[in-house]
Each structure stands twice: as structure tokens, then as C-alpha cells.
Amino acid sequence: MNAIHRLCLVLGDQLSFDLASLKGLDTERDTVLLVEVMEEASHVPHHPQKITLIFSAMRHFAKALQQQGIRVQYVALDDPQNTGSVPSELRRWESLMQPDELHMTECGDWRLEQSLKDCGLQIQWHVDTRFLCTRAEFSSWAKDKKQLRMEFFYREMRRKSGLLINGDGSPVGGAWNFDAENRKALPKGVIAPYPARFSADSITQEVLALVGERFSSHYGSLDAFDYPVTHVDAQALWDYFLDYGLAGFGDYQDAMASDEPFLFHARISAALNIGLLDVRQLCSDVESAYLSGRIALNAAEGFIRQLIGWREYVRGVYWLKMPDYASGNVFGNSRPLPEFYWTGETTINCMRQAIGQSLKHAYAHHIQRLMVTGNFALLAGIAPSQVCEWYLAIYMDAFDWVELPNTLGMVMHADGGYLGSKPYCASGQYIKRMSDYCRGCAYKVSESTTDDACPFNSLYWHFLMRHSTILRSNQRMGMVYKNLERMPESKQQALWQRGQTLLAKLDAGESL
């Protein structure tokens, strides 16, 4: 094989034509390498739909590059020469092709980036320009801060991007954040748009067969796979949301409803995270929709905040604090993740709904993740590492840079409050307020201490009692602890005992 000038390795979450390492490719002398490897598909038991999305999108991306005249070497999972890991494949192709240079864009996973840096090859690394804030810029912003606050970072990103900013530098609408307007439950009679669906072409059908055969032991169904795997289809999904979902997104982004997995959510996070969509274009489209009068300001600001605020923020925290961040466990939790997280077999209806749709679609929106499955894991004292593995495995949009801080920091508060100022914990009353789940549940949300009482109720107070030493000094928890102190001693004891009973059932491997 003739020697080449540049060999560019592109990962499965880097499928952007504007990727930094692909700039200035010479079609005569350079080659792009893409590899499907077992190590990345199985280091946690990824949902089969997630594996399908990435492999199919990779194959479509390789084909699109070739149509542009770019030379591509593609290694399929079942290639007999496949060595099974990204570093070993890069070494194999470096030996075969003898390139003058190896190029890569920064990874989205500390583990993988470290293994590539340790693999003995001289790689020229490129900053991932798909994000607004570089790792270095975030580190500079975070310097000397004992605690970080997303709200202040978000304002910096608004100023940097110019999104929803007046000519004098002030925020459009007179406030930076309209989150208080974005917490409405879904009223009766409000119907969410029918979800956009995309049928599998021949490439995707081949991948579905491969994944079905090779990953049959992984939890999650392939039957409902309908996700876009090309830039064109991802754009169509986004356009559909702009037309039918965005106007209701602001008001109802926190709402939950039985048998409604998507509601007014865009479902574009997986496409965005693997490079099929561009964050700057998405934000520009949302800003334009507001400026043209198609949507309200709270919908526009809320969506933009998720993308250039929270998304960029958690990535910054990840690269600033890894690898030590992954071992955070401020509460010392060690309880194993209950089996029903992998099966959905529980009589707690909100958990059954959220887990069931996650297994079916590899998707749940942020409140289902934070205030249902995450809230339960926090209250029940599940080991953070096991919770993080579950989120990384089960969700199509989960990559380590975004999943780990969200789960370990925001869901489990295991970093002691570095990422978020207080634990996101709640009783069943929150779930009742934001959903209709309680109506179809075997437990009574109105009860706290009886045998049929909602488990969230007693576990919430049990959590506050057993961690009072850590949490009582938190200013944002003061009112909650005052409420606890006002309770009669007999009520506190009954809540503690009910919590003990539920945790004992989990320790015995029983479902709730």
C-alpha cells in the first residue's frame, strides 16, 4: 500500500463534515479511517439502538465522504482483521499505510483519549470546534472558583455567541433566565405532536441484523428503532421540531405523561452528540423563530440555555476534573442498582413508565432522568458508579463527557455540590404535580408511612435524615430541614421505619 501524507481517525461521535481534523484534506494524499470496535460497543452494555445508531451513522458518513472524493478506510465490526479496540486499529493502519502524520480531534471520553495517548503513536490532536467553549477556556473561567455555577457560565456563553443579546449587551427580555416559566404540567386536552420517524434503509437494516446477532445479551429492544442516521434526516427531525414542537417546549419541557415518551421534546440530542447537527445552527434557528414571532421568549431561552449553557458546562466540568471526578461518592453509597432498572419490572408506575420507554426507545427526557429514575437512585443510596454505568448504557445520546457529570454530579450529588448547589431530590408530590403517573400506580402518593405508601415519600425523608450531617449546612436545604424538625417525633420514626423497610427489600433483591 502506497504511503500517504495524513491519516485521520474519526470516531463514531465525530461524524461532522466540519470536524477540525478533517480541515484541508488532500484527496490525493490523505485518508480518513473509521473503525467499529467491540471495546467501544461493550465496555458498558450499551442499548442495541445506540450501537445501531452509531454504526449506521458511521457507515453513512463514510459513504458521504467517499462521494466527496475523499479516500476512506472503513473497518466493520465483523471484519476478520478487526483487532477490537480503537488504539490497536490505529496502530494496525499506521503500520499498513505508513502515513507521514496521524490526526485526531479530541475525544468525548477520557478513557479512550488516554488509551490513544498511551498507544505509542505520535498523534496531532485538534481542538473540538463543535463546542463553543474549549477545554482551555473553561479551565480559565473555573480557575480559583471553589464552586462553579452554570448560570454565570451560561451568561458568558450568551455574550460570546451573541444569542438573545441586545445591542447594549443586555439580555433580550430583561432577564437571562426564564426557567420559572418552563415548569408547567401538561393540561388535559393538550396533545403533543406525533413523533417524526425515519425508516431503515439497506445500510441500517444490515446494521440492525449485525447488532441483533452480536449484542443480543444487552438490555433494550431494537424493534422501535426509527432514528435518523444521516445529516439530511437529522435536519428533517430538527425542522419537524421547529414546526411542531418548539412552541410548546418552553411551557412543558418538565412535564411527564403516561405512554407519551417524547411530548414536546426535540429528540435531537443523540444526532447532535455524534455530529449530525451543529449546535450553532440549532441555536440560530431557535433565535430566529423567536425574533420572527413564531415562539415565546421562554421557549427560545430555555432551549438555548440547555445547549450553550448546561451542555457546554457539563463538558467543561468533565475535562477539568477527570479522571478523579468519576470516583466521587460523598454520601458513601454502596447499594447495588436494582435489577428492575434493566427490566422495567416494578409496580412504581413512574419508574415503570420511565424505564420502560428507555428500554423501548433508548430515550427519556431530562426530568424523567433527573426526577424519576435519578431521584429514586439518590434516595435509595445506589452506588454512583453503577448509576452512571446504567445511564451511559441505556441512553442513545449518552457519551461519557455529558453523561458522567449529569449523573454523578446532578443526579447523585456525589461530587459534594461542585456541579450543582443542592441535591435534586423530591418526594412523590413533585411527580404527582408534573405528571399523571400517580393515577396508574399501585402505591398511594397521598400516603407516606403505610404499606401502600409511595416509596418516594418515605425515602425522601429517610435520605434527609441519614445525610443531615452533610446537607443541613447547605443554605438551599434550610427550609426542608425546618419542615423535618416541625414533624412530631412519632411521624419521623414512622417515616424512618418505612424507609428502612423499603431499603431492606432492595437489599434482598426484591422489586418494589
Report how far apart, in Å, the C-alpha atoms of 285 and of each of 235, 300, 484 are. Answer: 12, 10, 47
d(CA 493, CA 243): 53
Q: Domains (ranges, CATH) in the chain?
A: 6-126 (3.40.50.620), 135-193+245-312 (1.25.40.80), 340-507 (1.10.579.10)
- The one-digit pLDDT tens for each residue of the chain (512 residues) are 456 799 999 999 999 999 999 998 999 999 999 999 999 999 999 999 999 999 999 999 999 999 999 999 999 999 999 999 999 999 999 999 999 999 999 999 999 999 999 999 999 999 999 999 999 999 999 998 877 889 999 999 999 999 999 999 999 999 999 877 667 888 888 888 888 899 999 999 999 999 999 999 999 999 999 999 999 999 999 999 999 988 888 788 889 988 888 888 889 999 999 999 999 999 999 999 999 999 999 889 989 999 999 999 999 999 999 999 999 999 999 999 999 999 999 999 999 999 999 999 999 999 999 999 999 999 999 999 999 999 999 999 999 999 999 999 999 999 998 888 889 999 999 999 999 999 989 999 999 999 999 999 999 999 999 999 999 988 888 899 999 999 999 999 999 999 999 999 999 999 99
CA geometry: angle at 449 spanning 334 and 407, to 5°?
35
Q: Which of 447, 310, 367 is nearest to 301 (CA)?
A: 310
Q: What share of the chain is helix, strand, coil (3-state, %, to 5)?
A: 50, 5, 40
Q: Please give the helix or strand (H or E) that residue 141 lies within, else none.
A: helix 135-142
Buried/exposed code over 410-424 (b: 16+ C-beta within 10 A; e: otherwise): bbbbbbebbbbbebb
Whole-prediction pTM:
0.95
Q: How many CB atoms lie within 10 A of CB 360?
A: 16
Q: How many CB atoms lie within 10 A of CB 451?
A: 9
**At which residue does the C-alpha cell 396508574 appear?**
440
State the helix-helix crossing angle for 297-304 and 279-291, rounded to 10 degrees: 170
